């Protein structure tokens, strides 16, 4: 039973070949497999992109996978960012993004999850960690919108229990609309899933 079908990013990231153990395992969960890919498509090749650009989507993805130290997915999204940033329609200023995002990945790497709970019995479990913010020197290169997105991505990856209305207000203040924030949240959160499916299935090969 081999069902490798048209492009499937998780298969690509795993280097899955037809008839391999992972191919057969994934073939037994065809709905999960198809909808993991449909999720990727909805976020990175959207039919209705709204006001979140391809460059923004891939820049956030490169950052999220980079701070995960997730080699294969990181290379994949870094490559997609470079492609998007140098595409004919992209702004001239976008060309500096891959390098700026790479620098932010290096600054943002740490171990999680950590952070504080609402005050109460769980406070004994509060744990400290990096309070990352994009470096001031790179805010001009990234722009206000993308800098705010990377700040938010780091919060969601490493200390999601500290998410707050103020964090969403910071995104609104940086020009992200309510619908944009839903897309951004899904994108960051989906990647935390995709990275883990790849990391887990890799061990079953």
Partner 1 sequence: MTSTTPSTPASVTAESVLEHSDLDRPVTFTQAELGWVPWLEPLPESEFEERHRSGLVDASRAKSPYFALLARDPEILGARTRTDKDIFYNTKEGLPRAERELAATATSRHNGCIFCASVHSRFASHHSKRGDDVQRLLDEGTDAALDPRWRAIVDASVALASTPVALDAGHIAELRAQGLDALEIADVIHGAAFFSWANRLMLSLGEPEAPAAP
Q: Tokens 């795993």 label which residue?
A: 14
Over the Cα atoms of the chain, what is R_g? 18
Q: At its nearest, how many Å lie between partner 1 and the CB of residue 174?
A: 8
102 versus 112: smaller Cβ distance to partner 1:
112
Q: At its nearest, how many Å lie between partner 1 and the CB of residue 86?
A: 26
Q: At its nearest, how many Å lie between partner 1 and the CB of residue 2?
A: 16
134: which residues sit within 8 A by CB, 6+ positions away?
104, 142, 147, 150, 151
- Please tell me the distance from the alpha carbon of residue 87 to that of residue 15, in angstroms, as a whole number: 27
Phi, psi of 127 (to 5 degrees): -135, 140
Q: At its nearest, how many Å lie between partner 1 and the CB of residue 96?
A: 23
81 versus 155: smaller Cβ distance to partner 1:
155
82 versus 201: smaller Cβ distance to partner 1:
201
- Please tell me the distance from the alpha carbon of residue 149 to that of residue 155, in angstroms, as a whole number: 10
83 versus 192: smaller Cβ distance to partner 1:
192
Q: Do the Cβ atoms of 14 and 202 come closer than 8 Å?
A: yes
Q: Which of 190, 123, 135, 110 is nearest to 162 (CA)?
A: 123
Q: At its nearest, how many Å lie between partner 1 and the CB of residue 193?
A: 4
82 versus 143: smaller Cβ distance to partner 1:
143
Name the DSSP letter for residue 194: H
């Amino acid at each position: 039973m081999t069902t490798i079908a048209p492009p499937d990013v998780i298969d690509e990231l795993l280097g899955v070949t037809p008839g391999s153990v992972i191919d057969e395992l994934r073939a037994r969960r065809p709905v999960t497999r198809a909808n993991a890919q449909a999720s990727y498509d909805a976020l990175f090749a959207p039919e209705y992109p709204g006001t979140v650009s391809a460059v923004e989507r891939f820049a956030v993805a490169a950052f999220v996978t980079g701070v995960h130290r997730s080699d294969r997915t990181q290379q994949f999204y870094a490559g997609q960012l470079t492609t998007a940033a140098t595409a004919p329609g992209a702004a001239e200023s976008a060309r500096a993004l891959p390098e700026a995002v790479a620098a932010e990945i290096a600054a943002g790497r740490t171990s999680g999850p950590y952070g504080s709970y609402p005050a109460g019995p769980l406070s004994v479990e509060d744990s400290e960690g990096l309070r990352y913010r994009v470096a001031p020197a790179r805010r001009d290169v990234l722009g206000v919108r993308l800098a705010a997105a990377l700040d938010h991505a780091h919060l969601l990856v490493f200390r999601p229990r500290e998410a707050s209305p103020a964090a969403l207000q910071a995104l609104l203040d940086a020009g992200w609309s309510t619908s944009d924030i839903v897309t951004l949240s899904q994108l960051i959160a989906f990647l935390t899933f995709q990275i883990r499916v790849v990391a887990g299935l890799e061990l079953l090969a």
